[in-house]
Structure 1
Amino acid sequence: MTEIAISAFVTLFVIIDPIGLTPIFVALTPGLSRTERTKIAVRAVVIAFVILCLFAFLGEALLNAVGIGMPAFRISGGALLFLIAVEMLFERRTARREKQADEPEPSRDPSVFPLALPLLGGPGAMATIVLLMGELEGDFASQMVVLGVMATVLLIALILFMMSGVLERLLGAVGINLITRILGVLLAALSVQFILDGLTAYGIAGS
């Protein structure tokens, strides 16, 4: 159970990347008071949690409805995560997120877009939660551990958002870039493992 929790935490933490999102949160909430920033952060995290829970429980059923098996989804999901890892290693992910954050929105409140979607609960996080829950199909206790880990990562994001000003000054651009690259290396290895698991299920690769 501990191994499952650690693996899920590392994967979700790398994908959601609360540290990398913190400076973007600051940029999305200029001139707002601490109370206003807290309300936006809480709303964004709650919405992202609901979205990811829906994918956790209904994602595999949706895949089955369109005729996609879990092995195929593991391979495609692993490929998607590998691309995200490459973006992290070469600083493309931050640029893409900042572009998404700069897109015009109908209101001043950025909690739904772009914070909840696509930054906190984006395609990478959706694919990851479906993969993790699918690998533990039939093991309800372990699946609850994964959901608990997901909630923990989002809670960390909430705390960092609430401390965003202090954290940005403490780490600086160099610190954030360094952490992002380290997480990118870990994500690359995890994505390859997902692909190997999918190939193993097809009998193409050994376990």
Structure 2
Amino acid sequence: MIEDLNLFATQIITLWVVLEPVSHLSMFLGVTGHLDKAERRKAAAIGLAFAGLILVVFAVIGRMLLEAMGISIIAFQIAGGLILLFFSFSMIFSDASSHGPVEVSEDRSAASVAVYPLAIPVVAGPGAILSVVLFADNNRGSLEAQMVTLAALVTMMLVLLIVFWLGDYIVRLIGKSGANLLRRVMGILLAALSVNLVLNALQIWLGLPPI
């Protein structure tokens, strides 16, 4: 039970810093600015449902894809850790505005915006996909651990839904400076988690004592 709770907490923290709810909120408000409040909430619900489905699919078949391509989990974990580390640098050293505007299609309905760009690539982006694949593989063979991973993913989708639905209030509460500060703190946490991924993979590969 304690191990499951620790695993759940670790995965929630990782998903939180990868998905950056406050930073994603600014992009969500940007791409849905032409919609009214009800349509924005509809777009958030549809987009997060699609994003969650995509991440679950990668969690389920990610290991099979790696095996089909002849890629070891250790190599994938090191590569994923390095990619997340570089991603964390962008969170720490750049402003949220430096990502540039997210282009939307000509169809600006709530359902269309929910699929692209909200579900892909805003929520179900490279960092989130890498994270769920690593979570699922690290826990293969244990149904309880797989359920913990799915629970963490569903919980994070619900958190994002609440943040998106309360977006106008949150932006007024923390302001731009608060959002930038939170983004950098999350970047530091993600950097530490990324380094830990790489060190754990090297520890297993080289047979070193646990870190």
Same fold (TM over 0.5): yes
Note the C-alpha offset of 1:104: 4.4
What runs of 5+ residues in structure 2 fail to find an aligned partner? none
Deviations 1:42-92 (A, max 9, x none): 010000000000000000100100000100010000001101110100125
Deviations 1:169-190 (A, max 9, x none): 1111001011111111110000
- The answer for the alignment partner of 1:116 in structure 2 is 119
Letter in 2 for 1:107: D
Instruction: Say whether 1:29 aligns with 2:32.
Output: yes
Percentage of matched positions with identical amino acids: 34
What runs of 5+ residues in structure 1 fail to find an aligned partner? none
Note the C-alpha offset of 1:204: 6.3
Cα separation, 1, equivalents of 2:124 and 2:34:
25
- The answer for the alignment partner of 2:106 in structure 1 is 106
Note the C-alpha offset of 1:111: 0.9
- The answer for the alignment partner of 2:61 in structure 1 is 58
- The answer for the alignment partner of 1:159 in structure 2 is 162
Deviations 1:107-153 (A, max 9, x none): 11321111111110001100000111111111110111111111111
Matches within 5 A, 1:138-149: 138-149=141-152
Deviations 1:16-51 (A, max 9, x none): 111111121111112422110111000100000000
**Secondary structure, counterpart of 2:206 in structure 1:** coil
Residue 25 of structure 1 contacts residue 161 of structure 1 at CA under 8 Å; is this kept in 2? yes
- The answer for the alignment partner of 2:10 in structure 1 is 7
Cα separation, 2, equivalents of 1:204 and 1:172:
48
Alignment size in residue pairs: 204
Q: TM-score, with normalisation over the residues of structure 2? A: 0.92
Match among 180, 198, 201 for residue 201 of structure 2: 198
Cα separation, 1, equivalents of 2:96 and 2:132:
20
Cα separation, 2, equivalents of 1:61 and 1:131:
12
Residue 23 of structure 2 contacts residue 96 of structure 2 at CA under 8 Å; is this kept in 1? no
User: After the TM superposition, which parts of structure 1 deviate over 3 Å for at least 4 consecutive aligned residues?
Assistant: none
